[in-house]
Structure 1
Amino acid sequence: MSIFERYLTLWVGCCMAAGIALGQLFPQPFAQLAALEVARVNIPVAGLIWLMIIPMLAKIDFAALREVGKYWRGIGVTLFVNWAVKPFSMALLGWLFIGHIFRDYLPADQVNSYIAGLIILAAAPCTAMVFVWSNLTKGEPHFTLSQVALNDAIMIVAFAPIVALLLGLSAITVPWETLALSVALYILAPVIIGQVLRRLALRSGGEPALSRLLAILQPLSLMALLATLVLLFAFQGEQIIAQPLIIALLAAPILIQVYFNSGLAYLLNRWSGEAHCVAGPSALIGASNFFELAVAAAISLFGLNSGAALATIVGVLVEVPVMLSVVYIVNRSKTWYERGSRKATAQRLGGRPRR
């Protein structure tokens, strides 16, 4: 994990402060940047988001999909949590906390937008950072790679329908054209470009050439993320200064859903008798979010200065510390997990667990 990844929350906090300060000091230039839109897509932010996403997708080897069958229990658990539980549990938590419990403490005209941002955040499973979390739990790398490749393939076709369904259930108007454009711009096109770059690098010099390319692209990706955050907080600054409590209130449902979904995936893997080296990354993939895509989609659908964009950025803010805490729990509980996993396997096979 690089120094930027290790201290991502710190950098995000610095970008929040810098963006708010710059937005207050230089409102006119930021207003001009916000006006550079085509079909509600902000051109400067779109360029930065491509720099964020493409290096991450260049890491993915879709040939790893051949390995899916080897880890079918872990794959099944992760797919269930990612696509059948996480988006819907977040919609419920958003409706409960933002729509009701915290409603009186939030700007009334942004409540639906905040809920939409939380839904968008939960509808996209994490890609790049998962490899970091998997490594920290001594996870099975082939499982992690095949699971991420499968999730990315599913995301191309499932992201828009799930987001549209849940926004519709939350009584939020769905701009279908913009949603379709977001999927094309921020999933399909980056996947194609990332895979082309990957194959060109492998063809020119094999794995060493790919490693050199990723070493160049990864810092650009993180810098683009930080620059995007500065822009977003420059536009959100006035609202945050007026109500700093918003950040904490938006973080509450995100934290609950991370611990709920990671715990559910972990327990389901234990119940199925899956190995700990698969259960660890399964729990982490099940809980974490592709926040780069979420930020992009929220901006496209609701605008740079929307509550939805702010909600997805709060996801970035809490991502690293909360996922590190899940890593800690997974590692500390290994003995307990393996005891239960052996028992489940023995019961399934009709025998006794080995001591």
Structure 2
Amino acid sequence: MSAPPRAESSVVARLSTLDRFLPVWILAAMVVGLLAGRLVPRLGEALGAVAVDGVSLPIALGLLGMMYPVLAKVRYDRLDTVTGDRRLLVSSLVLNWLIGPALMFALAWLLLPDLPEYRTGLIVVGLARCIAMVIIWNDLARGDREAAAVLVALNSVFQVIAFGALGWFYLSVLPAWLGLPTTGLDVSPWTIVRSVLIFLGIPLLAGYLTRRLGERAKGRDWFESTLLPRIGPFALYGLLFTIVILFALQGDAITSQPLDVVRIALPLLIYFAAMWAGSYALGRAVGLGYGRTTTLAFTAAGNNFELAIAVAIATWGATSGQALAGVVGPLIEVPVLVALVYVSLALRRRLFPSTDPALEESRRA
């Protein structure tokens, strides 16, 4: 084994080449997707012709492919150390189900008062708490994988229970109390359950079985030193594939309605930055370590765009402003949260000086 890196060495410098230049790959994927969607006739229609729970089949496959390797890395026998951390669990519930939806509601009304379709779409995005891409951001930022698995599962349970009720409250009840126009949200509990089962249940089961059967067959050392390095890069391949498809599907809309996209993007930018920074500060204030503070921040800042898009399409139609707002969500979330991955890595040495990167890397290899 090579010698441990010096304490003062850069965390970012120790990332793999694929991880270190991730912004370059993501920018290239965005450009490729935009050009393909703009230049290839009817490509968006072809990609969206077959859907899984209202989401294009290629996007669904990309999401499943990028989540599976990370969920295979989770040490499921350590989950009990997370479920006993009340500071983490309570903080996550408050951030995700009280602060997050309220903040998006406020931003949507303040910045899009004259665009009701986009405003409604953003509120729906704010109600859909993240259960997919957050796993990738957390892993890239060297967050706590076990904590991410628990918080994502917790979000999934609350999503099934609370999404419909919160939609009714933020689209009908609260606007009526404030003297604002109201709208409705026609979404069945089964739509939410189906989204959770597809986009979390399938890769979670596959990751768990891979680890369980691999460790049983050849042991943990072989599993983590031989198999995981082979399947790990496919998480980023799946991410880049998903980004290409997302931008290809909306390439024409983005380039033909740039001012609308900018109007939608502004509240999203503020939302992602505020939720991440506030959650990071809260994690630090309640005494969480680097790994769990990072996990808390990314699980609070991310959103379940798969569910938001599916609900918008089912309720208002694929060509509606609500659906466009749902699609713009991940287009803004991806570059912003990638940037925050690097912010988080840079903050580790400054705010968590007791963290030993060498020990952490050896545990997570």
Aligned structure 1 segments of 4 or more residues deviating by more than 6 angstroms: 290-293
Partner of 1:209: 223
Distance 2:272 2:189 in 1: 26
Deviations 1:50-85 (A, max 9, x none): 10111111111221023348xx5xx22221221122
Corresponding residue number in structure 1 for 2:135: 127
Matched, 1:59 2:73: yes
Q: How does 1:46-85 map to 2 (within 5 A)?
A: 46-68=60-82, 75-85=85-95
**How far did residue 121 of structure 1 move?**
4.5
| Structure 1: gaps spanning 5 or more residues | 136-143, 270-277, 337-355
SS at match of 1:306: helix
**Deviations 1:239-284, CA, capped at 9 Å, x for gaps:** 3222252434421111011101110121122xxxxxxxx4222221
Give the 3 Å change call, closer, same or farther, for CA 68–110 of structure 1 in structure 2: closer
Matches of 2:204 and 2:88, distance apart in 1: 21
Q: Deviations over 1:285-331 (max 9, x none)?
A: 11103999824333433358632132133222111222332443453
Residue type at the aligned position of 1:64? R
1:231 Cα offset (Å): 1.5
In structure 1, the residue matched to 2:10 is none
CA gap of 1:312–1:161, structure 2 versus 1, over 3 A, is: farther
| Cα shift at 1:89 | 1.8
Q: 1:21 aligns with which of 35, 41, 46?
A: 35
Equivalent of 1:112 in 113, 116, 120: 120
Say yes or no: does 1:184 pair with 2:202: no
Give the aligned partner of residue 285 of structure 2: 267
| Partners of 2:147 and 2:250 in 1: CA distance | 35
Contact 2:289 2:352 in 1 (8 A): no
- Which residue identity is paired with 2:123? I
Q: How many residue pairs get matched?
A: 315
Code of the residue aligned with 1:197 in structure 2: it is T
For 2:308 and 2:244, locate their aligned partners in 1 and report how far apart those are by CA, in whole Å: 16
Indicate the structure with greater helix content. Answer: 1
Between stretches 14-23 and 178-187, larger displacement belongs to 14-23
In 2, Cα distance between equivalents of 1:162 and 1:26: 41
Give, in whole Å, the separation in 1 of the partners of 2:280 and 2:52: 38
**Normalising to structure 1: TM-score of the pair?**
0.77
Distance in 1, matches of 2:303 and 2:104, equals 19
Task: Describe the shift of the 1:121–1:251 C-alpha distance in structure 2 as closer, same or farther (beyond 3 A).
Answer: farther
Q: In the TM superposition, what whole-angstrom CA distance separates every residue of 1:208-233 from its partner, at most 9, and x where no partner exists?
A: 23443322322222112111111211
The answer on whether the counterparts of 1:262 and 1:284 sit within 8 Å (CA) in structure 2 is: yes
* Cα distance change on mapping 1:87 and 1:11 into 2, 3 Å: farther
1:252 equivalent to 2:252? Answer no
Matched, 1:222 2:266: no
What whole-Å deviation, never above 9, does each CA across 1:128-180 have from its counterpart, x for those lacking one? 54344347xxxxxxxx3542343244244223224334333222443432211
**2:37 and 2:249 in contact (8 A); partners too:** yes
In structure 2, the partner of 1:308 is 326
Distance 1:125 1:265 in 2: 21
Q: TM-score, normalised to structure 2's length?
A: 0.75
Change (3 A) 1:248 1:259: same
Where in structure 2 are there 5+ consecutive unaligned residues?
A: 1-14, 172-184, 355-365
Task: Assess if the C-alpha contact under 8 Å between 1:91 and 1:115 holds in 2.
Answer: yes
- Offset at residue 124 of structure 1 (A): 7.0
| RMSD over equivalenced CA pairs, Å | 3.0
CA distance in 2, matches of 1:332, 1:38: 43
